[in-house]
Amino acid sequence: MPIPKPKPSESRQQFMSRCMGDKTMTDEYKPNQRMAVCSSQYKSKEEESSESKRELRKDVFTTQREAEARAEEIGCVGFHSHDENGRKIYMPCETHTDYVRLMGEDVKDDEKSNLDNVEELFDIEPFIVKTEIKKIKEDEENEEGTFEGYASVFNKADLGNDVVVSGAFRKSLRKKGAKAVKLLYQHKSDMPVGVFESIKEDEHGLYVKGRLALKTGAGRDAFELLKMGALDGLSIGFKPNPKATYYDKRTKKRMLEEVELMEISLVTFPMNPDARIRQVKGEDVSIREWENGLRDAFGLSRSESKMAAKAVHDAFTQRDVEKDADLVQAVQNLGKIFNSWRT
């Protein structure tokens, strides 16, 4: 399937939301890659277009056509307009009262949220942050209890001197699929804690997405430990194919070119230190998701990404108003890091 392209009347925010959720994009790209590709698609559209129309902020446009298109999307008709700072702006719905009644909120120009301040200080495009926040919130509501990560990493020796070669799981996955691979706790066959929704090989290793059984005691316990970071390892249970297994005398390692995957466990200490959970869907761990995303997208160190994640997370949740001064200072420092990276 082709990569989505912007529609003529589609705003940047609308297109990014649609593009980020497109099946082709979610199947083929990781979150930070999707942001880059979608952003590039919209930028190309802007460069090709000679029109000066744009969305000034949420549901506020410079052309009547955009306002009418937005009205169709939210379930009203027509448009209304008024002057703002010497220029004419357009909004969806025939009257502003109709718009407020439908959306349940007003649109103001003189008030900025902490989110806007973060965007200013970082000097990054607001649609990227807003789209990701919206997606995270939707995921937390619809996918709480799911997790993602690498159960195995290719071409790297584990603590037992086994090396899984790229493609080792291909035949097994084709034969049985993700649902037949058991999701266990600490390799205990009598402690299943959920199911796997997808398991696939990529260039790095065996990437998995699992769903914990939150209505069971074991599933809830595992979920709490994952959210805290007390449990973040993954380990595979498998049967090697003797005909596709050999011992490398030079490196003193067992090379596994084909294995039958039996189960994948949540473990405290994985045999392969790089086999880790990268995301857990749940409100309490959104800060960890920010940490992973910032580190991947901007090449930050672990300590920098932790500091960035905390600042951004606190800004979005507005947990403690009394600490705003410290927060702003922290974000300003992070802005320097981002700007240094970009230049």
CATH code of residue 160: 3.20.16.10
Instruction: Assess whether pLDDT exceeds 50 at residue 303.
Output: yes
Question: Is residue 101, in this structure, part of any structural domain at all?
Answer: yes
pLDDT average, residue stretch 274-282: 79
Instruction: Assess whether pLDDT exceeds 80 at residue 196.
Output: yes
Are 49 and 173 in a shared domain?
no
Mean of per-residue pLDDT scores for the chain: 76
Are 272 and 207 in a shared domain?
yes
- Taking the C-alpha atoms of residue 48 and residue 124, their distance in angstroms, rounded to an integer, is 22
Supply the pLDDT for residue 287: 57
Are 85 and 132 in a shared domain?
no
**Band of residue 17 on the pLDDT scale cut at 50, 70, 90:** confident
Are 206 and 315 in a shared domain?
no
End residue of a domain, out of 65, 90, 112: 112
Supply the pLDDT for residue 52: 44
Are 237 and 164 in a shared domain?
yes
Supply the pLDDT for residue 186: 93
Supply the pLDDT for residue 198: 94
The DSSP bridge pattern shows strands 79-84 and 87-92 to be antiparallel
Task: Indicate if the alpha-carbon torsion angle 137, 215, 199, 150 is positive or negative.
Answer: positive
Site of tokens 């606190």: 314
Q: What is the DSSP string of 314-335?
A: HHHHT--GGGHHHHHHHHHHHH
- Taking the C-alpha atoms of residue 312 and residue 304, their distance in angstroms, rounded to an integer, is 12
Question: Is residue 135, in this structure, part of any structural domain at all?
Answer: yes
Question: Is residue 231, in this structure, part of any structural domain at all?
Answer: yes
212 and 219 Cβ atoms separated by less than 8 Å:
yes
Q: Where are the beta strands (DSSP E) in the chain?
A: 55-57, 60-61, 79-84, 87-92, 146-153, 162-164, 182-185, 188-201, 205-212, 233-240, 245-248, 253-256, 259-267, 277-280
Supply the pLDDT for residue 240: 94
Are 81 and 165 in a shared domain?
no
- Taking the C-alpha atoms of residue 103 and residue 157, their distance in angstroms, rounded to an integer, is 55
Supply the pLDDT for residue 152: 94
Supply the pLDDT for residue 322: 44
Supply the pLDDT for residue 184: 96
Supply the pLDDT for residue 192: 95
Beta carbons within 8 Å of 223's beta carbon, 6+ residues apart:
145, 212, 214, 280, 282
Supply the pLDDT for residue 110: 42
Q: What are residue 235's phi and psi, to 5 degrees?
A: -145, 140
Supply the pLDDT for residue 8: 72
Instruction: Assess whether pLDDT exceeds 80 at residue 114.
Output: no
Instruction: Assess whether pLDDT exceeds 80 at residue 117.
Output: no
Beta carbons within 8 Å of 332's beta carbon, 6+ residues apart:
121
Question: Is residue 139, in this structure, part of any structural domain at all?
Answer: yes
Are 21 and 101 in a shared domain?
yes
Question: Which tokens sit at 181?
Answer: 């691979």
pLDDT average, residue stretch 189-198: 94
Going by the DSSP 8-state scheme, the letter that residue 53 receives in this structure is -
Are 253 and 160 in a shared domain?
yes
Question: Is residue 58, in this structure, part of any structural domain at all?
Answer: yes
pLDDT average, residue stretch 118-141: 46
Between these two residues, 329 and 89, which has the higher pLDDT value? 89
End residue of a domain, out of 261, 280, 299: 280
Instruction: Give CA angle at 53 (47, 58), nearest 5°.
Output: 110
Are 182 and 257 in a shared domain?
yes
- Taking the C-alpha atoms of residue 135 and residue 114, their distance in angstroms, rounded to an integer, is 18
pLDDT average, residue stretch 154-183: 93
Q: Provide the domain limits for residue 303.
A: 113-143+281-343
Rg of the Cα trace of the chain?
Answer: 24
Are 175 and 137 in a shared domain?
no
Q: Which residues are catalytic?
A: 187, 235, 263
Site of tokens 């084909």: 258
Beta carbons within 8 Å of 176's beta carbon, 6+ residues apart:
261
Site of tokens 């003529």: 8
Between these two residues, 85 and 243, which has the higher pLDDT value? 243
Supply the pLDDT for residue 312: 65
Supply the pLDDT for residue 76: 86
Between these two residues, 193 and 124, which has the higher pLDDT value? 193
Percent share of the chain, pLDDT over 70:
66
- Taking the C-alpha atoms of residue 84 and residue 67, their distance in angstroms, rounded to an integer, is 16
Residue 220: which H helix or E strand, with range?
A: helix 217-228
Supply the pLDDT for residue 88: 82
Instruction: Assess whether pLDDT exceeds 50 at residue 244.
Output: yes
End residue of a domain, out of 235, 250, 280: 280
Q: Which CA distances in Å does 84 have to 62, 72, 120? A: 11, 24, 22
Between these two residues, 257 and 102, which has the higher pLDDT value? 257
Supply the pLDDT for residue 50: 42
Question: Is residue 1, in this structure, part of any structural domain at all?
Answer: no
pLDDT average, residue stretch 220-232: 89
CA atoms within 13 A on the CB side of 53: 18
**Band of residue 45 on the pLDDT scale cut at 50, 70, 90:** low
Supply the pLDDT for residue 23: 81
Q: Which residues does residue 253 pair with via DSSP β-bridges, in sequence order? A: 248
**Band of residue 281 on the pLDDT scale cut at 50, 70, 90:** low
Supply the pLDDT for residue 292: 66
Question: Is residue 5, in this structure, part of any structural domain at all?
Answer: no
pLDDT average, residue stretch 263-269: 94
Q: What is the DSSP string of 29-67?
A: --HHHHHHHHHHHHHHHHHH------EEETTEESSHHHH
Number of domains in the chain: 3
Supply the pLDDT for residue 48: 54
Question: Is residue 6, in this structure, part of any structural domain at all?
Answer: no
Going by the DSSP 8-state scheme, the letter that residue 58 receives in this structure is T
pLDDT average, residue stretch 78-93: 82
Going by the DSSP 8-state scheme, the letter that residue 243 receives in this structure is G
Are 205 and 256 in a shared domain?
yes
- Taking the C-alpha atoms of residue 342 and residue 185, their distance in angstroms, rounded to an integer, is 42
Question: Which tokens sit at 158?
Answer: 């584990």
Are 226 and 293 in a shared domain?
no
Instruction: Assess whether pLDDT exceeds 70 at residue 85.
Output: no
260 and 172 Cβ atoms separated by less than 8 Å:
yes
